[in-house]
Amino acid sequence: MKKLTFIFLCFCFISCEENLNIDIPTDTSKLSITSYLKADDYFNGQHSYVYLSNSISALESNDNFEYTDSIPVINNATVSIYETNALQENVASYLLEFDYDCYCYINTDMSPKQNTTYRLEVEADGYPKVYALDKVPAKPSYEITNFELIGKLDKKSYDGELSQFNLVIDDDPNTENYYQLKIFIVNTSGAKERTCSFSVSDPSFLNSLNITDSEGSYTGRSAYFTDELFNGTSKSFFIQHFKPKGIFDHFHIELRALSRDLYEFNKTRREESATSNNPLFVSEPIFLHSNIENGYGIFGGKSASNKAYIPTYFPNNGWMSY
């Protein structure tokens, strides 16, 4: 009896099958841009460049990319960047050329200025012309106070807390400010530079870009935050800084100012990375923030202020700004 019941149920399920015809939309391929403008840094493919590729739909294969030397980049586009004034009038123009060292578009005569707006225009055969506009923010102003060196820079086996200090930011009250904090440690003779981990506990660091513990404390190598909670004031953060194993002679603190578009792009890219390996396929789709008109990607401005602690090199002894 049980066997007959099982066969009957199977027959019911099979007989209820119905083919569904679903129209899956196809996306037209558009230009995809990744471009950073770093203040006072030459547009030479290191920190400032334009990387150009084409988009493909989720159902297409990688063969639908355009390739240059087996790399998915487009090398035959016309790429221009214009420096603009408050009325968005052009005051300078730069034609970028494709460079095979970085597989990106550069112009070594261009050095983006802080607190300046730029417009990007890209034309490539078979694609809509794309535009983008962004402002390179002013370099952030900050001081290091209450500094205490706890560990030794030149002790190879030591990988504990190296220093602690207060990072005091003088926030500009006339704009929304977006920040990124990193600490680098350097062995000059070996031409070696590494990022350091650090800890900070403050509500400003509670956002989707940072991973914090149950008590709201951040520990990592790259922290993002905004001035939403301290706009236009002097804000102090207590930082505990940790050294990796190795022999080093100095370290430097880099505080970056990001444009709003670049901050939002990094935010959605981090959210996408967090859900990309979800084995249950239950995550919501993440749409990357873009400021590219008629295309995809980011044309984002940033600037950086650095302070280096160099305890042994004459005549530099202590903190040096650059």
The pLDDT assigned to 137 comes to 97
| 3-class SS of residue 122 | strand
From the first residue on, what is the mean pLDDT of each consecutive set of 10 residues in the chain (322 residues)? 46 53 68 97 95 90 92 97 90 97 97 97 97 97 95 92 97 94 94 95 95 93 97 97 95 97 92 57 65 97 96 68 84
| Cα angle, residue 300 at apex, residues 221 and 31 outer, rounded to 5° | 115
34 phi and psi angles, rounded to 5 deg: -130, 115
> pTM value?
0.85
Token duo for residue 62:
């990688």
The pLDDT assigned to 4 comes to 46
- Edge-to-edge strand ranges of the sheet holding 198-201: 142-149, 161-170, 234-242, 198-201, 217-220
The pLDDT assigned to 316 comes to 55
User: What whole-number distance in Å separates Cα of residue 6 and Cα of residue 12?
Assistant: 10
The pLDDT assigned to 221 comes to 97
The pLDDT assigned to 311 comes to 83
The pLDDT assigned to 163 comes to 96
Q: What is the CA radius of gyration of the chain?
A: 25
Give me the amino acid identity at 106: I
Token duo for residue 321:
């700004």
